[in-house]
Amino acid sequence: MRIGVYGGSFNPPHRGHVLAAAELIQKLGLDKLLIVPAADPPHKSLALGSPGPLDRLALCRTAFAGVKGAEICDIEVRREGKSYTVDTLAELCRVYPGDKLFLVMGTDMFLSFSDWREPERISEMAALAVVHRSEDEELWNSVLVEADRLRRALDAEIVTVDNDCVEISSTQVRRMLAFGAPVGLEPGSLRLIREKGWYLTGNLKGLSYEQLQEVSLSLHDEKRRPHVVGTAETARTLAEQWGEDPDTARRAGILHDITKALNKKEQLHICEKYAMMPTQFQIDNPKLLHAVTGAIIAGEIFGESEAIVSAIRWHTTGRAYMSVLEKILYIADYMEPHRDFPGVEELRDLVWDDLDAAVWRGLDQSVCYLRRLGRLVDPDSLEAWHYYRKLTERSQLL
Ligand code: FE
Ligand code: FE
């Protein structure tokens, strides 16, 4: 028999995995494709809300049920201690003596293959089947070069599989699940996930601040986390100064960029799901969409107050007649400790004396910046710019 071995954390298994499995079976002419979910990695915890290994096994059974020839294999999940591919293959060689094994790997895994434990032994036990995971041609060229090198160095058998790319990742799938707008899942898997409340699909309303922060940070890209915490803390301090509730301001801060990691398509999917029609300007300038979708998610998923929802809605563009909380979030986002641009120090001084003047300064800098780049300014920002300019001028006269 020709047997494929397809490992991964499958957290959760999604349509990209399922399509790849079907294609692998067909293109490699396999009699069987073993889906081998990894045990929990020992030193790294899986994303918040992830089910345990046995539950991921159950999810895989559901997700791959429609793929003829796919078979779920529990050897890594059942093995004690750290799982190495070389051990998995050795075990499979014992179970399937005389059969031909193909180890399936993505491009990035393949490029680091030399650093794995016992690559020679792996290549003696199985052919390596490298699949395209993106349409990046440069990356694919380095795969071809590395394949040549390994063929010579290890006498490895390497086949490259040019599969149709489904540009979706488990991280994206998890985020959209938490936001109540799932994408890329088989209906059976989705039902199971929701039934069990995995991947933050349970009730997220009324969380304590600590819980809210944990959930929020888990949904952000790593590089944005310091900014989000910085904004929350700055908003809290500004609230103390300007007579707002510090906890409310902090909650608005920790949620303000909650949908920032989503791409344009995912942003629009959330708008559609929650019956919100974005303006043409927002569609043309997708960076503005995260304020719209962030506000939706703060209200619908986290059950936050109208005041917080509104502060998040206007945190990017500002608007005329902003509430105190809206102004606080707008400025906190602008001046939190990780921001570094000319004039930020002045803004940090000004904000303790005159909140409106600080908002005006922020708006003016944004508008000037966009104009310098020759870009159109959002109508809400423009209106806010006129409004706060007048307000600041008037207070300077008094
Ligand atoms: Fe933002
Ligand atoms: Fe921000």
Nearest Cα to Cα of residue 361 among 339, 345, 377, 340: 345
Q: What distance in angstroms lies between residue 279's CA and the mean position of ligand 2's atoms?
A: 21
Cis peptide before 53 (omega within 30 of 0): no
Tell me if residue 219 falls in helix, strand or coil. helix
Residues in the chain with pLDDT < 70? 41-43, 133-134, 165, 398
Looking at the CA of 260, name the nearest ligand. 1
Q: What distance in angstroms lies between residue 335's CA and the mean position of ligand 1's atoms?
A: 12
Q: What distance in angstroms lies between residue 93's CA and the mean position of ligand 1's atoms?
A: 52
Looking at the CA of 229, name the nearest ligand. 2
Q: What distance in angstroms lies between residue 286's CA and the mean position of ligand 1's atoms?
A: 12
**Which residues have a Cβ under 8 Å from the Cβ of 30 and sit 6 or more positions away?**
2, 3, 4, 24, 69, 102
Tell me if residue 225 falls in helix, strand or coil. helix
pLDDT of residue 364: 94
pLDDT of residue 398: 63
Q: What distance in angstroms lies between residue 318's CA and the mean position of ligand 2's atoms?
A: 13
Q: What distance in angstroms lies between residue 72's CA and the mean position of ligand 2's atoms?
A: 42
Q: What distance in angstroms lies between residue 193's CA and the mean position of ligand 2's atoms?
A: 30
Which strands sit side by side in the sheet containing 2-8, from one edge to the other?
Answer: 70-72, 32-37, 2-8, 100-106, 126-131, 158-161
Q: What distance in angstroms lies between residue 81's CA and the mean position of ligand 2's atoms?
A: 41
Q: What distance in angstroms lies between residue 228's CA and the mean position of ligand 2's atoms?
A: 6
Q: What distance in angstroms lies between residue 397's CA and the mean position of ligand 1's atoms?
A: 33
Tell me how far CA of residue 179 lies from CA of 11, 26, 82, 143, in angstroms: 17, 35, 33, 36
**Which residues have a Cβ under 8 Å from the Cβ of 47 and sit 6 or more positions away?**
11, 171, 174, 199, 218
Inter-axis angle of helices 324-335 and 306-313, nearest 10: 50
pLDDT of residue 325: 98
Q: What distance in angstroms lies between residue 279's CA and the mean position of ligand 1's atoms?
A: 18
Q: What distance in angstroms lies between residue 290's CA and the mean position of ligand 1's atoms?
A: 7
In this prediction the pTM is 0.92
pLDDT of residue 83: 79
CB burial string 140-170: b at 16+ within 10 A, e below? beebeebbeebeeebebebebbebeebebeb
Q: What distance in angstroms lies between residue 332's CA and the mean position of ligand 2's atoms?
A: 9
Distance of CA 28 to the CA centre of its chain: 32
DSSP secondary structure letters along 328-373: HHHHHHHHSTT---TTHHHHHHHHHH-HHHHHHHHHHHHHHHHHHT
pLDDT of residue 45: 78
Could you give all domains of the chain from N- to C-terminal order, each with its CATH number? 2-167 (3.40.50.620), 203-397 (1.10.3210.10)
